Amino acid sequence: MSKVYVFDHPLIQHKLTYIRSKETGTKEFRELVDEVAALMAYEITRDLPLQEVEVETPLAKCKSYLLAGKKIGLVPILRAGLGMVDGILKLIPAAKVGHIGLYRDPDTLEPVEYYVKLPSDIEERDFIVIDPMLATGGSAVAAIHSLKKRGASNIKLMCLIAAPEGIERMQKEHPDVDIYVASVDEKLNEKGYIIPGLGDAGDRLFGTK
C-alpha cells in the first residue's frame, strides 16, 4: 500500500489558503501555485540519496555530499499540472520534463488522453507526476499507467489537493506510488469537484471560463 504524505509546513498551508480563496485572481493564483510547488519540491526531495565526495575549499580538503542515484523526470498532467513545473524546476533545474495531456470528460468524468511526450532516457529516471488536483483519481491513474507502459518504474505523485476518493483509487491501482499533497479535503461533489477544494485548477491558472 502506498503512503500519503501531507505537507503541513506553515508556509505551504498559508499560501494554500490564498490559492483556495475565490477572491484570488489569475496572476496571484499562478504565483502562489508556483511558490507552493517549490516548497513541496523541497519536501519531496528530502529522501534523495547522497554520495560522499571529497571537495577542496580555498583552505582545506573535506568530505562533502552530492546527489546520487537516478536523475529526476517531472511529468505534469496538462493543463493544470503545468502551473507547478517552474516552481519545482527552481529546486531541481536539471530535471527533464515530460508531458501527458489528459482532460476529464465532463459527463463520464473519465480521462481522455490527447498527448504524451516523455524523455527518451525514461528507464534511467525517477519520476514525479504533477497535478494540482486529485479528484476521482481517474486522470492520475491513467497518466501513471501511461508512464509505466513506457518503462517508468519509480514514480511519486505530487498534488496540491486530494479527495479521499482519489487517494483510494490511486492506492488500489498504483500501490507502489506514494502521494504527496498539501491537503486532503472532505469529499467530491456530484460533478466530481473537490469540496472545499479550489475550483477548477486549469481555469483558475489560465484565466479560461
Ligand X SMILES: O=P(O)(O)OC[C@H]1O[C@H](OP(=O)(O)OP(=O)(O)O)[C@H](O)[C@@H]1O
Ligand Y SMILES: O=c1cc[nH]c(=O)[nH]1
Residues belonging to the binding site for 5-phospho-alpha-D-ribose 1-diphosphate are 79, 104, 131-139, 200
Q: Kindly state whether residue 197 participates in binding ligand X, applying the rule CB under 6 A.
A: no
Residue (76 or 202) nearer to ligand Y, CB: 202
Nearest of 70, 75, 192 to residue 145 by alpha carbon: 75
Among 75, 152, 197, 205, binds ligand Y (CB under 6 A): 197
Identity of the amino acid at 79? R
Binding of residue 111 to ligand X (CB under 6 A): yes
Is the Cβ of residue 171 or residue 183 nearer to ligand Y in the bound state?
183
Asked if 204 is an active-site residue, the reply is no
Pairing relation of β-strands 61-67 and 50-56? antiparallel
Q: What are phi and psi of 84, to 5 degrees?
A: -105, -10
Residue 193 interacting with ligand Y (CB under 6 A): yes
Contact 138, 109 (CB under 8 A): yes
Known binding-site residue numbers = 79, 104, 131-139, 194, 199-201
User: In this structure, are strands 71-78 and 125-130 parallel, antiparallel, or unpaired?
Assistant: parallel
Which listed residue (202, 204, 207, 208) binds Mg ion by CB under 5 A? 202
State residue 189 phi and psi, 5-degree precision: -90, -175
Using CB under 6 A as the binding rule, the residues of this chain from 116 to 145 that contact ligand X are 131-140
Contact present, 92 and 128 (Cβ < 8 Å):
no
Binding region for ligand X (CB under 6 A): 77-80, 102-104, 109, 111, 131-140, 166, 192, 200-202
